[in-house]
Chain A
Amino acid sequence: MPEPTFLDSTELVLNMGPQHPSTHGVLRVILKLDGEKVTGTECVIGYLHRGVEKIGENRTYAQFNPYVDRMDYVAAVSNGLGYCLAVEKLLNVEAPPRAQAVRVILTELNRVASHQLWLGTHALDIGAITPVFYCLRDREEALKIFEKYCGARLTTHAFRIGGLLYETYDGFEQDIRAFCDWMDPKLAEYEELLTNNRIWVGRLKGVGILNADECKEYGVTGPVLRAAGVKWDLRKAQPYSGYEKYEFDIPTRENGDTYDRYLVRMEEMRQSVRIMRQAVAAIPDGPIMGKVGKVIKPPVGEAYVSIEAPKGELGYYIVSDGATQPYRLRVRPPSFVNLQALDRMVAGGLIADVVAIIGTLDIVLGEVDR
């Protein structure tokens, strides 16, 4: 307990309200402060709740596909991949190898784009204004590829149930290779700006520590778990969509603080580029759509399928009663479960640390609230 000051102040409750540039969306954090030290936090969410799960019960499987992109709107392709894989699991079909390879390429491209946005906004919250310009500018190249492939930059609706709708456009492989070659020096540039910068290290090292046991208790997954030392990635543990064919490392660190999470995500971007290079070198020929009927009516049953989204484990639990519309469509959002750990991570920190920790958790309110 700090020494009582001559001001004899009581605990202050401050509202880091839903409108705040650093909360990555409409998140309300009620801070209990003792001076600048945070003694307790409480997250109030639900400002972006759109009832996606209820909508899922009233749309056919193919019609629900575009809604899925709008949850984690930063990395829309991953959401689509998870949903298509879940419905394909219920239908017991598998996408053909060519579709799987293109899906892997687009998903990894989307992971790089998502981490770039994370880096830019996280640096902006800390106070480094330059990286956000560079990250968003460089992210444009990835978004251009999405636009050329499926017609939209943000809400891509790239995949269909059973495979792909669009064949890759002419120049797809060249574009991806050019992106990979162009990305490596850019990553080095971001690192040059930030990694050894004393202000960056000073703000991030030792802040928001969440060790491996706490991560597992809170159900936290994704780069947060890997920075705590657990070498676990769903792409290696339970591979989907052909990930077992590609060689990549799982970056981990030991401390579990914010600086480690930054390093893990930078390394993940490099590994994503590595996967893209391998995948684009060996896209098999063949059909792009599996054997899925015109009307998608899975047999009665249920399935839970999860993928390694850029934010963590994104899971879809779909219960079907044999109709053309799902009976229950549950989305297990990584940001929602990760955000629970905010209270533990902030313990004893300052207000500035709260901002850094919300940034490092990489939450997207569209996913938290659905």
Chain B
Amino acid sequence: MKRLLRTIFLVDLFQGLWVTFRNQNPKYIYTEQYPAERPKVAERYRGAPRLNINPDNGETLCIACNLCALACPEALIVVTSERNEATKRKELTTFTYDTSRCMFCGLCEDACPVDALELTQDFEMATFTREGQIWDRQTLEEGPKPTQYKC
């Protein structure tokens, strides 16, 4: 008898509907109003690459050891350097990073012995052209500059 009443009066369906109505409470709204509120990504987030600069003297931290290029599974980093006769050390000249093929795995960041190459929290890296995805040393040091929209 109880089963018959539950079936006729759609008790199971109303139970489900009650869950849905309970979730209408504004405290359960999870929608992020992007781009007005940008998500806060974690500290270890593997986003856009950046070549760090020594804050004291403005020189690059990269020692052109090529370890990042060797570690990359896609072989998309190209590092060129020239030997400085005065200090007898290698100096970085160009550093090319192809973000269109990058899978943001972080192996280059792990391989860098001096923490010069770092994957930052930037994730807004869209460009209008394919060539814009290939970053040279300057773009890597400054970082991507996404258009800021006023909302």
Which positions in A face B, CB cutoff 8 Å? 59, 62-67, 70, 130, 134, 137, 140, 144, 147-152, 155, 157, 165-166, 169, 189, 192-194, 196-199
Asked if A66 contacts B73 (CB within 8 A), the reply is yes
B35 within 8 Å of A (CB atoms): no
B148 within 8 Å of A (CB atoms): no
Asked if B13 contacts A66 (CB within 8 A), the reply is no
User: Interface majority SS on B: helix, strand, loop or mixed?
Assistant: loop
Given that A148-B42, A166-B44 are known contacts, is A198 also in contact with B119, CB under 8 Å in the complex? no
Q: Across the interface, which residues of B come within 8 angstroms of A65, CB to CB?
A: 105, 107
Given that A63-B107, A66-B73, A66-B105 are known contacts, is A151 also in contact with B42, CB under 8 Å in the complex? yes
Q: Across the interface, which residues of B come within 8 angstroms of A149, CB to CB?
A: 44
Q: Across the interface, which residues of B come within 8 angstroms of A67, CB to CB?
A: 73
Q: CB within 8 A of B16: which of A157, A166, A197?
A: A197
Interface size of B as a range: 20 to 34
What CA separation (Å) do A144 and B73 show in the bound complex? 26
Asked if A151 contacts B107 (CB within 8 A), the reply is no
Q: Across the interface, which residues of A come within 8 angstroms of B23, CB to CB?
A: 134
Instruction: Kindly supply a per-residue 1/0 record for chain B positions 108-126, scoring 1 wherever the CB is within 8 Å of any chain A CB and 0 otherwise.
Output: 0010000000010000000
Q: CB within 8 A of B12: which of A59, A157, A169, A198?
A: A198
Nearest B residue to A134 via CB reads B23
Q: Across the interface, which residues of A come within 8 angstroms of B19, CB to CB?
A: 130, 189, 192-193
Which positions in B face A, CB cutoff 8 Å? 7, 12-13, 15-16, 19-20, 23, 30, 41-46, 71-73, 103-107, 110, 119
Asked if B45 contacts A165 (CB within 8 A), the reply is no
Q: Across the interface, which residues of B come within 8 angstroms of A157, CB to CB?
A: 105-106
What CA separation (Å) do A59 and B71 show in the bound complex? 10
Q: Across the interface, which residues of A come within 8 angstroms of B15, CB to CB?
A: 192, 196-197
Given that A151-B106, A152-B104, A157-B105 are known contacts, is A197 also in contact with B12, CB under 8 Å in the complex? yes
Q: Across the interface, which residues of A come within 8 angstroms of B104, CB to CB?
A: 152, 155
What CA separation (Å) do A172 and B30 show in the bound complex? 22
Q: Across the interface, which residues of A come within 8 angstroms of B110, CB to CB?
A: 165
Q: Across the interface, which residues of B come within 8 angstroms of A189, CB to CB?
A: 19
A sample of 19 more A-B contacts (CB under 8 A), given A144-B42, A197-B13, is A62-B71, A65-B105, A65-B107, A66-B105, A70-B103, A130-B19, A151-B44, A151-B45, A152-B46, A152-B104, A155-B104, A157-B106, A165-B110, A192-B19, A194-B16, A197-B12, A198-B7, A198-B13, A199-B13
Asked if B44 contacts A63 (CB within 8 A), the reply is no
Interchain nearest-CB distance for A76 vs B (Å): 11
Output the residue of B13, B30, B43, B44 with the most chain A CB within 10 A: B44
